[in-house]
Amino acid sequence: MARRNQDVVAYTQTDGLNALDSGRAVIRHEAAALNLLAEALDRNFEHAIEEIFRAGGRVIVSGVGKSGHVGRKIAATLAATGTVSFFLHAGEAAHGDLGMVAAGDVLLVLSNSGNSRELVPLVAHARRLRVPTLAIVSNLRSPLAKAADIVLPLPEATEACPARIAPTTSTTMMLALGDALAVTIMRRRGLTRHDLAQWHPGGHIGSRLAPVEEVIDRNDPLPLVRSDAPMRNVVLEMTSAGKGVTGVVDEDGGLIGVVTDGDLRRAFDQVLIARARDVMTADPITVPRGMPVEDVLTIMNEAKITVVFVTEPGNPRRPIGIAHIHDLVL
């Protein structure tokens, strides 16, 4: 049962901030730190990009605690943008998982303090293999910063938690720096949306990047009539397909127009005498097979249409399927 308004009490911190003010303060605090981070990027960032780009192996991301959780996300983002990567838990590394590191790899280690003891065996092993070590760290006098080949320093910024202890601001900066690395390397490799589609076949991203022919039923008969077909035939064909449109083709089967529900309403007084060519919209918009669903939706929205014929690439008059906006929007 919903509470009455008088029963709802706003949460108040000991410093006098209510819930909304507290939330906004945290976000603004971390946003300010991100601005500092952006301004602090230096040539070491460029060196890190080149090191990863030239590497023949994988980018192995590691860390412990909250830094480790962020590292998992960075490894996943690198992999999703064209850089082979995986996360190696620093605590497990010294118990046999060091075998996951090989010559040709690049090691990316995250640690705010740079003093975590679990990192020592991993960094030492990388040095023995001559695997370059990149460190995201705030303490430049720490063992990690001194052992790393390239240091990506986090600017001095307090944590957003009231006690200034819980990793908040620091992990936000780590996450942003990892995204900056992944996206910059992606651009350096010249990857396109087509390349990304290979690694995102599922979920919402996959459905947006899928070629249009993969989300329509090409086994359904196309609603097509000849240009001299009487309106009765046009209506029957449109009704049988259930798409609200009928394509009009010439003697060679080339698409020359479409008749929509709107065309029928506008030509209502001609229904008994008109032919398909008399009421059709000529030179209709079509999309080629292979076009991503996202681009098809953009075309349909800009043209303010709800259905479009899919054609062979290079031949917009050869229909092979039909896409309704309901087929494309998941």
Q: Is residue 205 part of a domain?
A: no
Q: Is residue 203 part of a domain?
A: no
Q: Is residue 231 part of a domain?
A: yes
Q: Which domain holds residue 234?
A: 212-328
DSSP string, 63-82: ESHHHHHHHHHHHHHHHHTT
Measure the CA–CA gap between 224 and 233, rounded to whole angstroms: 10
Are 187 and 229 in the same domain? no
pLDDT of residue 197: 66
The domain tally of the chain equals: 2
pLDDT of residue 272: 75
Which residues of the chain, if any, have pLDDT below 50?
Answer: 1-13
pLDDT of residue 315: 86
Are 15 and 103 in the same domain? yes
pLDDT of residue 215: 79
pLDDT of residue 12: 40
Closest CA to 131 of 52, 185, 75: 52
Are 265 and 307 in the same domain? yes
Closest CA to 136 of 168, 111, 172: 111
Taking each continuous run of H as one helix and of E as one strand, the counts in the chain are: 14, 12
pLDDT of residue 97: 87
Are 246 and 297 in the same domain? yes
Are 64 and 169 in the same domain? yes
Angle at 85 between CA 84 and CA 90, to 5 degrees: 160
Measure the CA–CA gap between 219 and 320, rounded to whole angstroms: 10
Q: What share of the chain is helix, strand, coil (3-state, %, to 5)?
A: 45, 20, 35
pLDDT of residue 96: 81
pLDDT of residue 9: 37
Q: Is residue 201 part of a domain?
A: no
Are 70 and 20 in the same domain? yes
Q: Provide the greatest CA pair distance for the chain.
A: 89
Q: Is residue 100 part of a domain?
A: yes
Are 73 and 170 in the same domain? yes
Are 179 and 225 in the same domain? no
Answer yes or no: are the C-beta atoms of 178 and 70 closer than 8 Å: yes
Answer yes or no: are the C-beta atoms of 78 and 181 closer than 8 Å: yes
The whole model's pTM is what?
0.70
Query: What are the distances in angstroms from CA 176 to CA 35, 36, 49, 64, 291?
Result: 11, 12, 15, 18, 32
Are 161 and 22 in the same domain? yes
Q: Is residue 123 part of a domain?
A: yes
pLDDT in tens, 25-60: 999 999 999 999 999 999 999 999 999 999 888 999
pLDDT of residue 94: 79
Are 228 and 155 in the same domain? no
Q: Is residue 202 part of a domain?
A: no
Looking up residue 237, the CATH number of its domain turns out to be: 3.10.580.10
- What is the radius of gyration, based on Cα positions, of the chain? 29
Are 105 and 216 in the same domain? no
Angle at 27 between CA 22 and CA 33, to 5 degrees: 130
Looking up residue 135, the CATH number of its domain turns out to be: 3.40.50.10490
Q: Is residue 198 part of a domain?
A: no
Direct distance between the N- and C-terminal alpha carbons of the chain, in angstroms, rounded to an integer = 33
Are 17 and 111 in the same domain? yes
